[in-house]
Structure 1
Amino acid sequence: FHSGKKSIRYFSITRNMSTIYRIPLTKNEPSSKYSWKERVDIHLNIAKSKYGRLTDPRTLKEVAAKGDEPISDYSSDIGYFGPATLGGQQFQLLFDTGSADLWVPKVGYNHGAGSQHNTFDTKKSSTFKTDKQPFSITYGTGHTSGIAATDTFDFAGFSIENQAFGLADTVSDDFKDSPFDGILGMAFDQLAELRAPTPFQNLVNQHEVSSSVFAFLLGRQKDGTSKNSELTIGGVDPKFSSHIKFNKVVDGRGFWQIALDDAQVNEKQVEIQGKEAIIDTGTTLVIIPPADADAIHNAIPGATKQSGTYLIPSDTDAVVSFTFGGATYHIKTEDLIVDDAGNGLSVSGIQGDNMPGMEDTWLVGDVFLKNVYNAYDVNKKAVGFAQVK
């Protein structure tokens, strides 16, 4: 599927090119109908499905060049989401730096009238176009599929004509419980299974933003900061700008992947060196190689492991820190505790597992990202952090 040239038009408002544009975000919490062990497994399965493409012996370039290759993506169903409009129709989208495609469900998709999701009605859009090429997205424990299309996409005060997206007519059962309607990928274009620029890349390509940076502030429900969560487009929040330290992307596959210096527990260094980390707002946990997870939890008093899941004392005061580019960032203890496991223990926000084809790579999700203002520069290919107090 090739979407052709993208054009961008403005709303009828006056713009200042030096202005950053903000989208308020809402946090999606995992369903309480599952046990703590099931919820951990859901997180791990989502990540494995999302990054499973790396086990394919073909390069991403070879996959993209094959005209009959199914369009697919790997997306999370737990994270931060916000408002956008596609073809004049309102949606709540998960903003995901770990993928690079946009998709929404079609009206009448397989969950039908009982669904609480906003759905896309092709009859309500005069700008909808499709050549009916199929796409298939694998995520979590299921999948979604439909056709590739283009339409006008509005977010953060911008309107992007002919934006490529996937229109899903089938989604897996686990999707029906999510409060967001679809996914907006924000990784690099070479990851896009639709083989088209992301909405933000379109804005950069057309010089519609003064800066090639977008950034996230991710709050938490535990301390009431969830209401402050937001995505900024075309720059960073001025109160963080002087504190952000950027790290160059070290991998050319399309992920926001940077070098990890080391990790500490209670300011004592853990023997972890020479690793790289993918920064992913669409992943909840920090998922790392089992040997690294052992090293971190061995340094946390009272930590244990049950059925492959790392548990920590519910009253722990441990502080885990990661160092990127010589700067150290701390994870609040409350973010290490992600679920009650009973008997005075809680599920750790850091879990050990080998992602397919990337056994030495860390997957750094919201457990860490809630503690830093995280910024992404698509032109300079760099990820920046500033500690959030």
Structure 2
Amino acid sequence: MWKLVLVLLWTWTWTSSALLRVPLKRVRSVRSQLRVEGLLEEFLKEHRPDMFNRRYAQCFPPGTPSLRLGRSSEKIYNFMDAQYYGEITLGTPGQNFSVVFDTGSSDLWVPSTYCVSQACASHRRFKAFESSSFFHDGRTFGVHYGSGHLLGVMARETLKIGSLTTINQEFGESVYEPGSAFVRAKFDGVLGLGYPALAEILGNPVFDNLLAQKAVEEPVFSFFLSRRTSSGSPEGELLLGGKDEALYSGPINWLPVTAKGYWQIKMESVSVQGAISLCPRGCQAIVDTGTSLIAGPTADIISLHQLIGATPTNIGEFLIDCARMSSLPHVTFVLGGTEYTLTPEQYVRKDTLADKEFCFSGFQAVDIFSPQGPLWILGDVFLTEFYSIFDRGLDRVGFAFAKHPA
């Protein structure tokens, strides 16, 4: 099973000033690595959110917000399946790090040279004492991922993404990263692209600072995720400061953001084969590059899996008979009056174990509640098929049909 991963190449292509292209590459996910090595079941048992809360609570300052039960989970920060990452530099002179570009979070953090976790030993670590532009904050922060609870201290630094520069960027130095997913992950840290309200670290998120310091041409960024898996070629693109008309076709369907934390929008319905609706009165959805799957409320996803003939495994995944792919129903999401239909070939994930191919559902049951009701997550299974545009100027998300080569 191959997942879409943002790999920032060393070549930066500019179409104009303050418009930055980040080429994307596709590599194997942590979940797939664990499955091939026969370690996935053990990992999932050991990394339940409630278990992490109770096991590590004594390691964190009292009142750490992200320790609250129900706050965490792989449901939002799903790095086991999708790792979108690229190179940035922090400090003067610059120190290089690979970070996940994640619309499902708003913080920037990288490992500290003082980090004591195994995960930090296998990744690049920030050395504050080597930077002349470093400013120590002293406050602590905590972020709870499905793979573990991260703890760190806050600071400010000069940040560069390619040729884009922002000064006095708030970020976190992690000093504790439990969980083997971080050890196996290709990225060093995370660069969140959500709204400020979602941040655990006080201060402006990276894109807000880019806007405030007029470093980008437009208050917009966009993602194109390719289906290609060929080596050596860019397999997608993150464009900071605008959108690329060459990567999509037809008009853009704009949807207003309904809550400024995640990139949250209203979804009119989800239907199977155009008939059975899973949210007939409408529901809320998060557009999240930090997860590869499409997630929804448990009751709806159970119904969906029954309709597509998926059977559960003992570790919460759902298997589909690969021989039945051509007969499976289509699944359609209605957003802003436009239908976005996924075929079985698009919503089924394939993986190979001992030379045998297995097919897994691209849908996952996750219960996330908000004042507007239960939330769905439109992850990479959806975003691979549709070009996505995130507009902070007008607080809206745009979708268009992605142009994939034949």
TM over 0.5: same fold?
Answer: yes
Partner of 1:96: 102
* Contact preservation (8 Å) 1:262, 1:269: no
| Cα distance between partner residues in 2 of 1:321 and 1:44 | 33
What is the CA-CA distance between 1:110 and the residue it aligns to?
A: 2.0
What is the CA-CA distance between 1:44 and the residue it aligns to?
A: 12
Letter in 2 for 1:82: G
What is the CA-CA distance between 1:337 and the residue it aligns to?
A: 2.3
Which of 197, 204, 213 in structure 2 is aligned with 1:206? 213
What is the CA-CA distance between 1:142 and the residue it aligns to?
A: 1.1
* Contact preservation (8 Å) 1:23, 1:83: no
Partner of 1:25: 24
What is the CA-CA distance between 1:292 and the residue it aligns to?
A: 1.5
Q: How many percent identity over aligned positions?
A: 33
Which of 114, 119, 123 in structure 2 is aligned with 1:117? 123
Pick the structure with more strand per residue.
Answer: 2
* Contact preservation (8 Å) 1:276, 1:362: yes
* Contact preservation (8 Å) 1:95, 1:183: yes
SS of alignment partner, residue 291 of structure 1: helix
CA-based RMSD: 3.5
Task: Give runs of aligned pairs for residues 141-180 of structure 1, distance below 5 A.
Answer: 141-174=147-180, 175-180=182-187
* Contact preservation (8 Å) 1:244, 1:385: yes
Inter-CA distance 249–32: structure 2 relative to 1 (3 Å threshold): closer
SS of alignment partner, residue 298 of structure 1: helix
Which of 345, 349, 356 in structure 1 is aligned with 2:362? 349
Structure 1, 353-362 or 336-345: larger mean CA deviation: 336-345
* Contact preservation (8 Å) 1:264, 1:320: yes
Which of 236, 249, 255 in structure 1 is aligned with 2:257? 249
Structure 1, 209-218 or 342-351: larger mean CA deviation: 342-351
Inter-CA distance 376–48: structure 2 relative to 1 (3 Å threshold): farther
Letter in 1 for 2:388: N
Partner of 1:311: 319
How far does the alpha carbon of each residue in 1:10-44 deviate from its partner, in whole angstroms, 9 at most, with x for none?
xxxx9945x63111233451244534897599799
| Cα distance between partner residues in 2 of 1:79 and 1:333 | 23
* Contact preservation (8 Å) 1:341, 1:347: no
* Contact preservation (8 Å) 1:313, 1:344: no
Inter-CA distance 114–364: structure 2 relative to 1 (3 Å threshold): closer
How far does the alpha carbon of each residue in 1:218-257 deviate from its partner, in whole angstroms, 9 at most, with x for none?
23455779832221011001223863211001124x1111
SS of alignment partner, residue 259 of structure 1: strand
TM-score scaled to structure 2, two decimals? Answer: 0.77
Letter in 2 for 1:99: S
Inter-CA distance 291–32: structure 2 relative to 1 (3 Å threshold): closer
SS of alignment partner, residue 303 of structure 2: helix
Inter-CA distance 163–15: structure 2 relative to 1 (3 Å threshold): farther
Partner of 1:326: 337
* Contact preservation (8 Å) 1:46, 1:76: no
* Contact preservation (8 Å) 1:150, 1:164: yes
Task: Give runs of aligned pairs for residues 1-389 of structure 1, distance below 5 A.
Answer: 16-17=16-17, 20-28=19-27, 29-35=29-35, 70=64, 75-77=77-79, 78-87=82-91, 88-111=94-117, 115-174=121-180, 175-220=182-227, 222=229, 227-239=234-246, 240=248, 243-252=251-260, 254-273=261-280, 274-300=282-308, 302-307=309-314, 308-315=316-323, 316-317=325-326, 318=328, 319-340=330-351, 346-355=359-368, 360-388=374-402, 389=404
How far does the alpha carbon of each residue in 1:31-67 deviate from its partner, in whole angstroms, 9 at most, with x for none?
4453489759979999979xx9xxxxxxxxxxxxxxx
Inter-CA distance 91–374: structure 2 relative to 1 (3 Å threshold): same
Number of aligned residues: 357
Inter-CA distance 32–292: structure 2 relative to 1 (3 Å threshold): closer
How far does the alpha carbon of each residue in 1:242-280 deviate from its partner, in whole angstroms, 9 at most, with x for none?
63211001124x111111112233444534221110111
Inter-CA distance 40–16: structure 2 relative to 1 (3 Å threshold): farther
Inter-CA distance 118–125: structure 2 relative to 1 (3 Å threshold): same
* Contact preservation (8 Å) 1:42, 1:140: no
* Contact preservation (8 Å) 1:95, 1:184: yes
How far does the alpha carbon of each residue in 1:154-206 deviate from its partner, in whole angstroms, 9 at most, with x for none?
01421111100000121113211100010000000111111211111112223
What is the CA-CA distance between 1:335 and the residue it aligns to?
A: 3.8
Inter-CA distance 243–208: structure 2 relative to 1 (3 Å threshold): same
* Contact preservation (8 Å) 1:219, 1:226: no
| Cα distance between partner residues in 1 of 2:31 and 2:349 | 13
| Cα distance between partner residues in 2 of 1:373 and 1:154 | 26
